[in-house]
Structure 1
């Protein structure tokens, strides 16, 4: 979704404005540094949420930096990646603040060499080289190595103490310079923090994700800086356990780095799919009453909403679905209502069950239909509270592909199907009523293959959304 600079909530189909306003009031009430986690599952709109929030803060003259952790996890050190993003933001400053920020950033770069995770390695290189010089022609000078390591032990102990004292001083100077740099971004307004958004942390390599958390909490824990992490904490927990073991108390571990959690409210999926269809102009195709259900004032859009709900499509999957429908409806000939329903269903299969979708071909007609019906019943149990027969109608359309009603007894077809899944009498009656309607317009395997071809054609196009 595009974020309008003047009005970041202009295209806010999930009504996130109130959440953003509340969180802004929350983070600006803290004078000290905090780490806030925006927790939501994959495809639930985290990226769009923090980008709307970032633009909202910009409009309040609150400085922000966006750091996509996943795009940076190819680097060896998270600290360097974070400092690099802060340095890039200096170009947005002007006047005295920009000049001052450049000087402070130079100080940070001088300190970072000491704080980087491989800094101690350089100190070991001369030691390794010395030991190597005591090995000549494959023969080890044991007495010389013993003498060297004895002296080395005392020297290293002294060096470690001095290094510890030095690291404390360097860390103090680093944080001091970082806090003053944040002031430059804030225009010396102590009521405005520098807000650093970290996105896609749950997609990073486990070691890199952990390192980002550690650096953010320990090295950036200074006045004037607030971190906002957008992540799926469940997935992040899997990454952490991959490093520290499955028995780790992940919540306890994360409490060391995250001060506050904010569970992003789950959107009403049906509202989202309706909003997307309006934005793309699909509503003119979908706001058509299904003539099979005249008494219910039931439209194609209602069917799309229900399929989206029953198959639990994430927001990102709904956008992908609308992308398919947008291309198909604007490039293909007019579909019948039956074909629209099959288009919705096959598109959902492509997104949620790609292997099942790919198995659709002329040679596997019976096995495909059998597997699809099994899939439907796993999503749509008989106790589902639904008075509309559209799913039974879909089931009967699929059954007619392998057993056309014009040539076979639909009564036997339904009886076999009811017996296989042990359906109750209510479900059976829905199937009977639906099969009466299916007989008017039978669906063939060729119809399914043609719909699949139009879906595949749509995959050549992409629609630029950001969830």
Structure 2
């Protein structure tokens, strides 16, 4: 059994063969943009963390290689141990050298080295100005031993030399790229920029703009722009900084990968983690009461995951926990997938509500209100019955917990003088169909149907407090 969803295998001959999200078409759109504007630009692929950007850009990179493009993939998060991004970026470009282009690269590298020499004193002075109060000590650190006039003249000369070095570096880099890629632009992919050190992320952006803005390089920034904006504000020490405007200086074009069609990813995860091994096992299918478990599991998945606020990575975590904890159930045990997956969802996505259920700190009405907050915007004629069944099961098991594990129908409904049951609460799913909720509660009350179970029956399994059954 897989406990972790490993990276998809990217086949060289068909990079998108294992993509279950139908994203090849978006790669083709982006490739066409590169073809149309091959002179060079910066493209940001902007999606939230956990939406599969890294897998997409790696598939796209291989697809570009298959189409004859030179590419570089640089994971900024894995390389932020290097204080100077220029070193790391040049190190990635070195992978493109061949025997014939190595002399050109060495020439470019020497010019990059000259740039770092001019950057160092500026950084040293900035650090000295920020942390050292004694002027004499600052002068010693930055080597200022001349009079102010000499210092000013030296700074002017250094400024002129630095501009010249930048120009020479960019010209040399442009020639190297032109002789490397047979007329096609180099596609330089920078991934995980929003996850690395904020100062490192900002430095990469600045150096792309000032040093690498040359013909025939297309930079692809795989980012979560909101998180990167927060990093920018942190570096500049101001919450009032307009991060959107700041990033606009570096990004020429922005693209967001559309959300997958509803249900596609969860069905893939269902297959990947092989839930059928349990739900359709020969032992379980003997019991008629359990035969709809798979259907209910997938239906509640569709409802809970049909929200843009839940990322692919969060869906993966929910499925991982659900599969592991499912092994604490016996083959003939009730699972009640509607409740089981809903609680697993809460543990990953709505921790506060999950903990309130564990501590039994909610009233029945409060539980109903919180349930509606989560599923109310997904309510329609097709799933109303399913959500009312979830409501009934959840209230029943939670009410059992409140009453020390024994079923007390008086908390939810009571009998009138004619012996007819009367609901004491209203359905939060459809207040005009309380009679349906009453019938559902009546139907699940018996021990034979698992109606006597407490919510702890599920929580202990989700918390992995029970032994796994092999």
Query: Aligning the two structures, in what range does the TM-score lie when normalised by the shorter sequence?
Result: 0.7 to 0.9
Among 345, 350, 366, the alignment partner of 1:348 is 345
Find 2:204's aligned residue among 212, 217, 220: 212
Q: Deviations over 1:403-427 (max 9, x none)?
A: 46844334159955439x7x75335
Structure 2 alignment gaps of length 5 or more: 1-6, 415-420
Q: Classify the secondary structure of the residue corresponding to 1:36.
A: strand
Asked if the contact 2:339–2:394 (Cα under 8 Å) also holds between the matched residues in 1, the reply is no
Cα deviation for residue 240 of structure 1 reads 2.5
The match for 2:169 among 168, 174, 179 is 174
Task: Give distance in 1, aligned partners of 2:211 and 2:233.
Answer: 23
Which residue among 379, 384, 388 is the counterpart of 2:385? 388
* Aligned match of 2:252: 259
Match of 1:155 in 2: 150
Q: 2:44 aligns with which of 26, 34, 37?
A: 37
Which residues in structure 2 correspond to 1:291-440 (within 5 Å)?
298-309=295-306, 312-329=309-326, 333-334=330-331, 336-357=333-354, 364-365=359-360, 367=362, 373-381=368-376, 384-385=379-380, 386-389=383-386, 390-401=389-400, 402-403=402-403, 406-409=407-410, 410-412=412-414, 415-418=423-426, 425-426=431-432, 428-439=434-445, 440=449
Describe the superposition over 1:408-451 as per-residue Cα deviations: whole angstroms up to 9, x where unpaired: 334159955439x7x75335334223212321322224412432
Relative contact order (C-alpha < 8 Å, sep 6+): which is higher? 1
Q: Which among 266, 272, 287 is matched to residue 273 of structure 1?
A: 266
Matches within 5 A, 1:53-132: 53-87=60-94, 89-90=95-96, 93-97=97-101, 99-100=102-103, 103-104=106-107, 106-116=109-119, 118=121, 121=124, 131=136
Query: How much has 1:350 moved relative to structure 2?
Result: 1.9
Flag the 1:121–1:159 CA change in 2: closer, same or farther, 3 A.
same
Q: Distance in 1 between matches of 2:360 and 2:276?
A: 33
* CA distance 1:27–1:131, change in 2 (3 Å): same
Corresponding residue to 2:243 among 250, 274, 279: 250
Q: Aligned pair in 2 of structure 1 residues 15, 383: CA closer, same or farther (>3 Å)?
A: closer
Match of 1:444 in 2: 454
Q: Report the secondary structure of 2:384's partner residue.
A: coil
- Provide the C-alpha distance between the structure 2 equivalents of 1:76 and 1:225, rounded to a whole number of angstroms: 23
What displacement does 1:197 show? 0.9
CA distance in 2, matches of 1:81, 1:107: 15
CA distance in 1, matches of 2:55, 2:139: 61
1:465 corresponds in structure 2 to: none
> Would you tell me which structure has more helix in proportion to its own residues?
1
Q: In the alignment, which residue of structure 2 is the partner of 1:139?
A: none
Contact 2:77 2:196 in 1 (8 A): yes
Counterpart CA distance in 1 for 2:364 and 2:81 is: 44
Query: What TM-score, normalized by structure 2, do the two folds share?
Result: 0.78
TM-score using structure 1 length? 0.79
Counterpart residue number, 2:26: 19
User: Unpaired segments of 5 or more residues in structure 1?
Assistant: 136-147, 459-467
The secondary structure found in structure 2 opposite 1:313 is coil
C-alpha contact (below 8 Å) 2:368/2:391 kept by paired residues: no
Q: Is the 8 A contact 1:14 1:272 kept in 2?
A: yes
Distance 1:284 1:163, change over 3 A: same
Q: How many residues align?
A: 432
2:328, 2:467 within 8 Å by CA — same for their partners in 1? Answer: no
Q: Is the 8 A contact 1:311 1:379 kept in 2?
A: no
Q: Check whether the contact 1:310–1:379 (CA below 8 A) recurs between aligned residues.
A: no
Q: Which residue of structure 1 aligns with residue 418 of structure 2? A: none
Question: Would the aligned equivalents of 1:104 and 1:181 in 2 still touch at CA under 8 Å?
Answer: no
Is residue 343–residue 451 contact of structure 1 (8 Å, CA) maintained in 2? no
